[in-house]
């Protein structure tokens, strides 16, 4: 399979590239330094539509996994124009090029398109975004499907090992607990989160199976962020008592939704397999870490000459 991944240096993009590097012909689009043996890496400003078009023409991808985004809620509030350019306009460019080239498109969206007053949310529930980030991601869904009606648009929440070691919620809790520091988890925020390798596998398998439209792709269970932190402690053999309950209003900053659990049962039925639970995802994260995945992810920051 010829696979093109945008946002290849991000939390999801990196592990998707690593997992497919030996089985598929992969082109990785990125901004930060990025190298994986056997993968064609292209440093590109995705807001440069002409440059992106030249890459698509040369790569002729069969599948496009579009993970690139401004994903920080607070960064989007500070610079809504940047959020609009990257989250919406770039998605439109990628979707149009994928459609024109006959590529299958997987566009990664977010659970944050909902306001958190209900849930678990199904795909036919009406979104109500609270923040600039959430609004631009909802707009990106509409742009993607308008340009590429057969796209798979996945609303997700995920965790895992990152290049910096600090990008995911699981790393946030684990890092503090390893240092023996108390850490706060919001007891009033509910979500369903999937290990990033499980997410990448599910998205690409679903695309191959012909799943299209808006789908919720998360774990089969849900938890508060406080309970998530305690689960991280149990999984990694750390002190669970260091995880303290907190409240979302203590955080400040951009508006955030409280109850963001999604119902992934429809997607699981289409895919023909059960989505993993949170505990299963954390267990796989620990196993992968012990097997060296965290180091392999960090090593993608090396330039080719140093690799």
User: What's the token pair of residue 139?
Assistant: 């707009």
The single residue of 121, 133, 195, 226 carrying the catalytic annotation is: 133
Indicate left, alpha or beta for 225 from its phi (over 0: left) and psi (-120 to 50: alpha).
alpha
**Cβ contact 42:34 at 8 Å:** no
Per the listing, tokens 């990033």 go with: 196
DSSP secondary structure code for residue 121 in this structure: B
Phi/psi for 227 (5° steps) reads -65, -35
Pairing of strands 25-30, 40-43: parallel
Q: At what angle do helices 11-20 and 196-208 cross, to 10 degrees?
A: 60
Residue 133 catalytic?
Answer: yes
Tell me how far apart the alpha carbons of residues 45 and 232 are, in angstroms, rounded to a whole number: 36
Tell me how far apart the alpha carbons of residues 81 and 224 are, in angstroms, rounded to a whole number: 32
For the annotated catalytic residues, the residue numbers are 133
């Amino acid at each position: 399979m010829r696979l093109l991944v945008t946002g290849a240096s991000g939390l999801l993009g990196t592990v998707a590239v690593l997992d497919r590097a030996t089985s598929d012909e992969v082109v990785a689009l990125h901004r930060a330094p990025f190298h994986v043996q056997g993968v064609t890496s292209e440093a590109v400003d995705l807001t440069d539509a002409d440059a992106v078009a030249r890459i698509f023409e040369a790569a002729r991808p069969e599948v496009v996994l579009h993970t690139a985004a401004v994903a920080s809620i607070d960064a989007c509030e500070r610079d809504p124009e940047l959020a609009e350019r990257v989250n919406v306009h770039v998605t439109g460019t990628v979707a149009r090029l994928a459609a024109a080239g006959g590529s299958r498109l997987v566009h990664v969206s977010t659970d944050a398109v909902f306001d958190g007053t209900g849930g678990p949310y199904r795909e036919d529930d009406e979104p109500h975004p609270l923040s600039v980030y959430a609004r631009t991601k909802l707009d990106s869904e509409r742009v993607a499907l308008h340009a590429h009606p057969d796209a798979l648009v996945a609303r997700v929440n995920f965790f895992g090992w990152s290049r910096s070691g600090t990008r995911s919620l699981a790393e946030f809790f684990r890092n503090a607990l390893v240092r023996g520091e108390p850490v706060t988890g919001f007891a009033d925020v509910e979500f369903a989160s999937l290990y990033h390798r499980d997410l990448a596998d599910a998205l690409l398998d679903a695309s191959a199976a012909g799943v299209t439209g808006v789908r919720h792709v998360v774990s089969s269970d849900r938890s508060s962020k406080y309970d998530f932190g305690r689960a991280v402690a149990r999984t990694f053999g750390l002190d669970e008592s260091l995880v303290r309950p907190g409240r979302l209003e203590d955080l400040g900053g951009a508006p955030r939704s409280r109850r963001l659990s999604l119902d992934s049962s429809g997607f699981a039925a289409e895919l023909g397999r059960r989505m993993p639970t949170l505990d299963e995802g954390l267990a796989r994260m620990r196993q992968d870490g012990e097997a060296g995945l965290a180091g392999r992810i960090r090593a993608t920051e090396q330039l080719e000459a140093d690799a």
